[in-house]
Copies of this chain bind each other. A is one copy, B any other.
Amino acid sequence: MTQIPLERKVLGENDRIAAALREEFQRRGIFCLNLISSPGAGKTLLLEKTLEGFAPGRRVAVLTGDIQTDNDARRLARYGFPVQQITTAGACHLDARMVERHLANWDLSSIGLLLIENVGNLVCPTSYDLGEDAKVVILSVAEGDDKPLKYPLMFRESALLLLNKIDLLPHVDFDIGRFRANAARVNPRLEVIETSARTGEGIDQWIDWLRARVGEAASGRRSCGET
């Protein structure tokens, strides 16, 4: 993202749409998360395991972003929840207008939890508010324990970090203690849940985290809504 005045205008327009989305989500008691990671951190498999954790008929919906393919939507549609692919045709992030446009296809009164899987990119999506209640950053242990320091904005703006692929810990040079210290340095309030979408470890804890917030959103109370 080049630092140019026009960008501020684009972001201003984005913020306006995102604010309207946020207001609508709050009015309807929808809890919305914006899930962000590098390519290959395991977002889609994590989402599959997440959907498995909710009984069909629960009010969960997914928007999944990709630059080119609709592979993720096809993978996620198998779980019986509404899923839409947002294909950005080259753009490196989702923006609020893309979300607004795709939500127009849905009856929002049937949704309690909206999961938005952003494009695989640890930098640009941070600048584009989608109206979410919170950002969740997903990091694979294969990416290294220094990442909070190298990509601080993402970690600073997130409410929760899913530290994924922890089944790989014995095989990579990743020091959990050093990682937690690095994460706390850029965001002392960042919650961390260790997960392995592959083995299922930590998925229950993540789903409990979700359920608690969906319940709060539905009853009009918010724990991390004032982003």
Contact = CB atoms under 8 A, between A and B. Distances in A.
Contacts of A119: 123
A224 interface: no
- Kindly report how many copies of this chain are found in the complex they form together: 2
The listed residue with most B CB atoms (<10 A of its CB), out of A122, A123, A124, is A123
Contact of A39 (B90, B91, B143): B143
Interface string A75-101: 000000000000000111001000000
Interface stretch (A1-9, A17-25, A47-55): A1-9
Interface SS, A side: loop
Given A2-B7, A119-B123, A142-B168, 15 more contacts: A1-B92, A3-B91, A39-B122, A39-B144, A66-B150, A67-B123, A67-B150, A67-B152, A68-B151, A68-B152, A90-B153, A120-B150, A120-B151, A142-B143, A167-B171
Interface of A: 1-4, 6-7, 10, 38-40, 66-69, 71, 90-92, 95, 119-124, 139-140, 142-144, 146-147, 149-153, 165, 167-168, 171-173, 198
